[in-house]
Amino acid sequence: MMDDERPVIDAEEELAAMETFSVAVIGLGLMGSAACRHLSFATGEKVVGIGPAEPEDWKSHTGVFASHYDEGRITRIVDANSIWSLLAARSIERYGLLERESGIRFHYPSGSIRVTPNYKKEGDTLSLAYEVGRQNGAEVELLPGKDVLKRRFPFFHFDDGDVGVIESGGAGFINPRAMIQAQLLVAEKQGASVLRETVVELECCSVGVKIRTDGGKSLLAKRVLISADIYSKWLVPGRELALKTFGEIVLLAELGPEEEQRLKNMPSLIWRLKGQGALHSVYACPPVRYPDGKTYLKIGGTWLQDHPDSRNSLLPKKEDIIRWFHEDGPQEEADHLLQVLKNLLPGIAIKSVDTKPCIVTYTAHNYPYIDAADGKSFQDAQVFVVTGGCGAAAKSADEIGRIAALLIEHRNWTYDMDASIFRAVFQDSAARL
């Protein structure tokens, strides 16, 4: 058949042939999976969640990557920022319900400790975090000094002048892989569909948004909610979100059964360091079993940008993200983390050490974007976003996803925080901020 003899497919026929949904959630990480669950419950409409499963082999994978491929993320209410603290408190309050509805455990209330050498001194944020946490329902206790910390946690070694705040209640850590599994299982029970493919193109039309996936599927949704972390930047039709992604590494220290038993009461930890070279602070999760059957203690850090061992890890392109996940990360960073771990836990018996790459995506204002994204009003918009974890969203993801679901359900801002906090910023306006 000659080219000009090919049958012409009418646009209306094309749309009529597509499976149609009321809402499509693009990206099924922690925020997207939460939004999918809340939407499928609240709206009673036809909802689909679209997003790829975790790649089996990171080194050969050339598609999208995410940082929820992990077994431990700190959860806590204690935070100097009242917005992040309240988002966490509201999420933690619903962990138990989600575990019961799904039958999947993802929450481990091991407690969480935050330690600083600057308590009530210049640069201190712990005293404010303590008060904000209390206001938002955190069960907190001040541990005023190295000796008090040592009596409470004999396996830790802190520096002279360090002061800690221990949070109990729901504080501890979550398993992000399991939490996403729980969210999607409940969403499907509530009638949502889940499609494990990657969206490669969105196109707005008069009746909704046409969705094309890497598997060759074409779908139609009246409204879409983009929750694809940094990839959200390139999915909004005709616009580019102001998002920046940085590469980071975490160090995994393998522990044997005896060491795991010794540290069984370890809380999750955030430690503001003094005199530790390139590191401003570190965070750590208690020992946890990973999919390879081994038990690891995870430690990561925030780096001082003016230190010679620190580097600019901005990942501006998709190719940069793929390269980052294919590599093991800078050895000097792993060395710094390992040394801090050995200082923190003197005599720790480590069987092996591994590093894992991850990425952190920041918005222009350091809160998630939860907004209409196509330039239209909430009432008329077809494209919405909920994205940008800013290194703080895992524990709060259920509430963040719920806010996005409320926006789409009501087609208006009904949440009790001001909409401007979560406004989406685009590249053409970011330079003016």
> Given pLDDT bands bounded at 50, 70 and 90, which one contains residue 35?
very high
- 3-state SS, 180-242, equals HHHHHHHHHHCCCEEECCCEEEEEEECCEEEEEECCCCEEEEEEEEECCHHHHHHCCCCCCEC
Nearest to 235 by CA among 271, 201, 258, 266: 201
> Above 80 in pLDDT, residue 9?
no
The dihedrals phi and psi of 233, each to the nearest 5 degrees, come to -55, -35
- d(CA 98, CA 192) in angstroms, rounded, equals 16
Nearest to 32 by CA among 46, 50, 45, 20: 50
> Above 70 in pLDDT, residue 5?
no
Segments of the chain assigned to CATH 3.50.50.60: 10-52+177-242+364-430
Structural tokens at position 306: 């003016």
> Given pLDDT bands bounded at 50, 70 and 90, which one contains residue 25?
very high
Task: From residue 282, give the alpha-carbon distance in Å to each of 9, 17, 300, 358, 362.
Answer: 58, 53, 6, 15, 19
Per residue in 196-244, pLDDT (tens digit) is 999 999 999 999 999 999 999 999 999 999 999 999 999 999 999 999 9
Nearest to 421 by CA among 89, 87, 135, 130: 87
Structural tokens at position 115: 């330690």
Taking residue 311's Cβ as centre, other Cβ atoms within 10 Å add up to: 14
Which one of 3.40.50.970, 1.10.357.10, 3.40.50.720, 3.50.50.60 gives the CATH number of domain 10-52+177-242+364-430? 3.50.50.60
Beta carbons of 159 and 117 less than 8 angstroms apart: yes
Per residue in 37-72, pLDDT (tens digit) is 999 998 788 999 999 999 999 999 999 999 999 999
Interval 421-429 mean pLDDT: 91
Beta carbons of 183 and 98 less than 8 angstroms apart: yes
> At 123, is the secondary structure helix, strand, or coil?
coil
Query: Quick one: pLDDT at residue 429?
Result: 63
Through-space distance between the first and last CA atoms of the chain, rounded to whole angstroms: 56
Per residue in 269-301, pLDDT (tens digit) is 999 998 657 888 999 999 999 999 999 999 999
Query: Quick one: pLDDT at residue 2?
Result: 46
> Above 50 in pLDDT, residue 326?
yes
Which one of 3.30.9.10, 3.40.50.720, 3.30.43.10, 1.10.3720.10 gives the CATH number of domain 73-173+244-361? 3.30.9.10
Nearest to 140 by CA among 126, 123, 161: 126
Burial of 127 (0-12, 13-18, 19+ CB in 10 A): middle
> Above 90 in pLDDT, residue 313?
no
Beta carbons of 324 and 359 less than 8 angstroms apart: yes
| β 218-226/208-213 pair status | antiparallel
Query: Quick one: pLDDT at residue 52?
Result: 98
Interval 244-260 mean pLDDT: 96
Burial of 147 (0-12, 13-18, 19+ CB in 10 A): exposed
Strand partners of residue 208: 205
Block residue for tokens 């990942």: 315
Structural tokens at position 175: 């398993």
Beta carbons of 83 and 61 less than 8 angstroms apart: no
Segments of the chain assigned to CATH 3.30.9.10: 73-173+244-361
Nearest to 35 by CA among 47, 45, 18: 47
CB-side neighbour CA atoms (13 Å) of 408: 33
Structural tokens at position 433: 């901020």
- d(CA 432, CA 234) in angstroms, rounded, equals 21
> Given pLDDT bands bounded at 50, 70 and 90, which one contains residue 430?
low
Interval 328-351 mean pLDDT: 95
Interval 138-151 mean pLDDT: 95
Query: Angle 415-419-422 (CA atoms, 0-180°, nearest 5)?
Result: 110
